[in-house]
Amino acid sequence: MTAQTFLTSLPTIGSTEAKNDLSGLLDRINKTHSRVVITRHDRPAAVVLSADDYEALMRRIPDPLKELEAHFDQMVASMQTPAQRNAEEQLFGATPEQLGSAAARAATSKRRTSTRKR
């Protein structure tokens, strides 16, 4: 069903009439859980539905971020090996002294490598 088909199947009310009897319109919609198309110049401008119906409608729409988050978590899990997990635990569990020592070793090693290439 297209959006236009959905709209043509609903009752309509002009925007002036809706404005003049908004309270009555809202009462009817909340009591009957119906939907009403508000028209402006004989064209659909809005659809009014109860808050409960809106909540139910929104719950049916899947959250794209949840799906993306699940996919991301799967990718990360598939890339992690026991050696990577161990290295991560060592890195984040290291003391400032251990990090400083590792940085100094890496800098010294890098200096030696660049000196050899010359």
Q: From edge to edge, which strands make up the β-sheet containing 12-14?
A: 12-14, 36-40, 43-48
Q: Identify whether residues 53 and 90 lie together within a single domain.
A: no
Q: Enter the pTM of the model.
A: 0.53
Nearest partner of 40 among 20, 67, 17, 59, judged by Cα:
17
pLDDT digits (tens, 9 = 90+) for 44-99: 999 999 999 999 999 998 888 888 998 998 888 888 888 888 888 888 898 999 98
The CATH code of the domain that includes 19 is 3.40.1620.10
Q: Identify whether residues 9 and 54 lie together within a single domain.
A: yes
With a CB cutoff of 8 Å and minimum separation 6, the contacts of 44 are 7, 12, 37, 38
Q: Identify whether residues 55 and 69 lie together within a single domain.
A: no
- Point out the domain boundary residue: 14, 35, 60: 60
Neighbouring CB atoms inside 10 A of 18's CB total 21
Nearest partner of 54 among 25, 19, 30, 28, judged by Cα:
30
Count the domains in the chain. 2
Name the DSSP letter for residue 14. Answer: E
- Point out the domain boundary residue: 44, 60, 76: 60
Q: Is 62 helix (H, G, I), strand (E, B) or coil?
A: coil
pLDDT digits (tens, 9 = 90+) for 13-56: 999 999 999 999 999 999 999 999 999 999 999 999 999 999 99
Q: Identify whether residues 55 and 16 lie together within a single domain.
A: yes
Q: Identify whether residues 78 and 31 lie together within a single domain.
A: no
pLDDT of residue 3: 61
Q: Identify whether residues 43 and 77 lie together within a single domain.
A: no
Parent domain of 38: 3-60
